[in-house]
Amino acid sequence: MLAYSGDKNTLSRLPGDTMKSGEKKFIPNPRKAALLNTFAPGAGQLYNRDYWKAPLVWVALAAGAWTAVYWRVRYNDFVKAYKSFYDLNPLDTATYGKLKSGLTVYSSQPVFYRGGILNGERNEAQELTLDQVKRTKDDYRRYFERTVVITVVLYAMSILEANVAAHLKSFDLSDDLTLNLSPKMNQPMINRPVPGIRVVFNFK
């Protein structure tokens, strides 16, 4: 902000004014910020110059993806265990889709499941019945689906945040905002004159 110093040819810079001559205030485009974040999560925050927000987006989405893979791998292990109770030989049409010979719904079989995610490590086998395997399989499926939903919501929120943050940066918060108070005699919804105060905001 420049101020007149007495000489008509001289302008002085007020203290605290750090804007360089000719420098324009950065105003991001909300649509561009949202589009960037849609195709590259965190890019919208970087475009808005909210650099500290981008790592939060990356960590949240990475954690969601990691957890989804974790539950999916365990779900697949129990799907295989569930299928092991049934005769799935398509050539044997008489018993296809039925429990294997000698097994009942109360029979138990050793079930191996992955201890890690992608390292292939497996814990010791546990003797589980068909019902136990089915319930565990369904639990892991629900965990996986919920994690996917939460991750998608976080992804959508990151896009919305980039758009809203860009809009907020376009608001004028400079010293040119002024507040004026003036008397006002005519009030809304009142027929006769009533003394009052009018508040007026002047924007840049």
Q: What is the mean pLDDT of residues 77-90?
A: 89
Per-residue pLDDT for 49 more than 60? yes
Per-residue pLDDT for 116 more than 90? no
Q: Encode pLDDT of 133-145 as tens digits.
A: 999 999 999 999 9
Nearest to 156 by CA among 166, 148, 146, 145: 148
Per-residue pLDDT for 117 more than 90? no
Contact 182/200 with Cβ under 8 angstroms?
yes
CA dihedral 118, 123, 128, 134 (to 10 degrees): -20
pLDDT confidence of residue 159: 96
The strand ranges marked E within 57-115 are 108-111
Q: Encode pLDDT of 160-203 as tens digits.
A: 999 999 998 876 555 555 656 566 656 566 666 655 555 555 55
d(CA 168, CA 29): 11
When the pLDDT of each residue in the chain is averaged and rounded to a whole number, the result is 80
pLDDT confidence of residue 12: 45
Contact 68/148 with Cβ under 8 angstroms?
yes
pLDDT confidence of residue 68: 94
Q: What is the mean pLDDT of residues 92-118?
A: 81
